[in-house]
Amino acid sequence: MSAAVCSIVFGFVIAVLAPPLLLRITRTAASPRVALMVWLVAIGLTALSWAAAVIALIVDFLHHRLFPLNQPMMDACVSQLHDAAVGGYGDAVRVGAFTLAALTVLAGTVLTVRLGRSLWEARRTTFTHARMARIAGRHSRELDAVVLDVDEPAAYCVAGKPHTVVVTRGALSALDDRQVEAVLAHERAHLDGHHHLLLAVTRGLATALPRIGLFTTGAREVARLLELIADDAAVRSHGRGTVLRALLALAETEDGPEGAAGAADTGLDRRIRRLSGIR
């Protein structure tokens, strides 16, 4: 019981205090990988602490149902839970204790189902789009990407079997050869880093728990930081100026499909300022 309470309190403390603090710390994103790790640790600790609380409650409940007698080595909290469970404090307290435990377990189950459903839907959406892009477009061996016959300049990647980098005819017309290579390097950095998995999990948590600011804010910040990491990968291979000019050329691009990671669809203004050396 004490472990469950501590886990719940610990999770809520992080969920309440972490977002404003992390936003200040990671705002400039001088090292996006470190900033990403900080956000993921905070999100992971909160989710795991609440999951541990549910597991602890289930274990306590089963323990007291299977072994209803007092044991000398039980700590005070567990002993009180046992007394409440067997009616030592009256039927009202007994019913309340079981109701609270049942509601906690039910809430954990519902949230787990919602998270699982969100992850499944994200996977299904991205895999379907990757398949449709390969059907609708043509694969360019030179670019190792699928080219869509669309006038709007856009480039993005979607997970699938295999993963797919998509670029439109409009993007190829708007960019020179080096800029195209830089954009493709950006997209491949997303796929090589398995960024789609991080996006799916963080967005899934935000969908399952939309009132928890750590998860909703964290999902946005994780998406932003992943774009910066991909930008840095493109800069290392093609230079800052080339990446900046390519990003500006794609600045009018609308967001890619749900679940996709695009070259110009997240935190565009901050990314341009960062590449320009403006803080």
Domain residue ranges of the chain, discontinuous segments joined by +: 1-66+93-276
User: Would the pLDDT of 50 be above 50?
Assistant: yes
Inter-CA distances, 157 with 70, 209, 222, Å: 59, 27, 17
Query: Which range scores top for mean pLDDT: 7-16, 52-61, 104-113, 261-270?
Result: 7-16
Q: What is the mean pLDDT of the chain?
A: 81
pLDDT top residue among 133 and 92 = 133
pTM: 0.78
C-beta neighbour count of 225 within 10 angstroms: 26
> Distance between CA atoms of 264 and 252, rounded to whole angstroms?
8
Phi-psi region of 259 (alpha: psi -120 to 50; beta: other; left: phi over 0): left
User: Would the pLDDT of 198 be above 80?
Assistant: yes
Average of per-residue pLDDT across 240-266: 72
pLDDT top residue among 85 and 52 = 52
Q: Say what the pLDDT of residue 12 is.
A: 83
Percent of the chain with pLDDT over 70: 75
Q: Which two tokens stand for residue 18?
A: 């972490």
User: Would the pLDDT of 85 be above 70?
Assistant: no
3 within 8 A of 52, measured Cβ to Cβ: yes
Burial of 279 per CB tally in 10 Å (0-12, 13-18, 19+): exposed
Residue 32 pLDDT level (bands cut at 50, 70, 90): very high
Q: Say what the pLDDT of residue 193 is.
A: 94
Q: Say what the pLDDT of residue 73 is.
A: 38
Q: Say what the pLDDT of residue 159 is.
A: 85
Residue 222 pLDDT level (bands cut at 50, 70, 90): very high
pLDDT in tens, 132-183: 888 888 999 999 999 999 999 999 998 888 889 999 999 999 999 999 999 9
